[in-house]
Amino acid sequence: MKGLVALHSYKGGTGKTSISANLAVTLAQRGRSVCLLDFDFRAPSLQTLFKAETDCWLNEYLDGKRELDSCFIDFSKTFNTRGSLKVGFANPSLKGIREMMTKDRKWEIKALHRSLELKTYLSEKVGADYAIIDTSPGVHFSSMNAMAASDLIVLVMKMDDFDTAGTKELVEGLYDVLGKRTTILVNRIANDLTTGQGRIGVMRELSKLSKLPVLGMIPCYCDLGDHELSGGRLIYAVEKPEHDFTKTMRTLADDVEKYLTPNSASASSTSQGDDRTPF
């Protein structure tokens, strides 16, 4: 398996879910075997985005009631992807959300072990090249478990004061402790801040937050609207392949693959903390 990638954020509304879904689809379109998992048990939304009907949840995998492969729905034929695309959903019912929020410490330890087994299981029994995990924002046991199991954490953020302050707290209080490879992905940034002097200014601000490498900057596509980009309507990689957002997701997929390739030039340059970004 080439890598397990956890997408995380300090708060909701950063576009993390839409990025997770489109990244997974894009990788599958280019022939990779991909598993997408919804670990946002407090506010699941992938089921709505994929318009899926199921009664098998990842909650049950963490409970030890199901094997992981029984929780997946295969969308390869639905989306006509060259590679395999399997998606596991979190229970979106109020009862399911409430149950996950009231688990005790003993259950959380068991769930951690199940989470740490993800990569081995997905590699050996599912044959996945990549796993993309959409986590719950903030500090929640399911998010921490997913990040502990991951090869790469992508911290999705926006450049507003609230998000930057919260991101700084996450970096200093959580990511440094986890000791995982972590990158920053800035979403919905003004177009004039992605190049030239504007970009230099953004990089300078990000350097004040942490020394984490910047994986990339996604411009604001105002025609999409907040609702669509937050995962409410479309998977753009499927339904609008020529849209600029979809093209950006292809670039993101390129750079995630490069970043997870041992000794790659991309991984080498970003790990040194320079001010270059893949896109």
Q: Which domains does the chain have, with CATH numbers?
A: 3-264 (3.40.50.300)
Give me the pLDDT at residue 225, please: 54
The token pair that represents 101 in the structure block: 């929020």
Give me the pLDDT at residue 196, please: 84
CB 256 within 8 A of CB 5: yes
How many CB atoms neighbour CB 266 within 10 A? 19
> CA torsion angle for 36, 40, 46, 52 (degrees, to 10)?
90
58 dihedral zone (left: phi>0; alpha: psi -120 to 50; beta): alpha
Instruction: Report residues of the chain scoring pLDDT below 50.
Output: 226-231, 265-279
- Model's pTM, two decimal places? 0.90
- The residue count for the chain: 279
Give me the pLDDT at residue 231, please: 45
Strand ranges, E, within 9-124: 34-39, 72-74, 85-88
Contacts of residue 2, Cβ cutoff 8 Å, sequence gap at least 6: 129, 130, 257, 260, 261
* Type of residue numbered 235: I
Give me the pLDDT at residue 161, please: 84
As a 3-state breakdown, the chain gives helix, strand, coil percent values, each rounded to 5, of 50, 15, 35
pLDDT tens profile 108-165 = 999 999 999 999 999 999 999 999 999 999 988 899 999 999 999 999 999 888 888 8
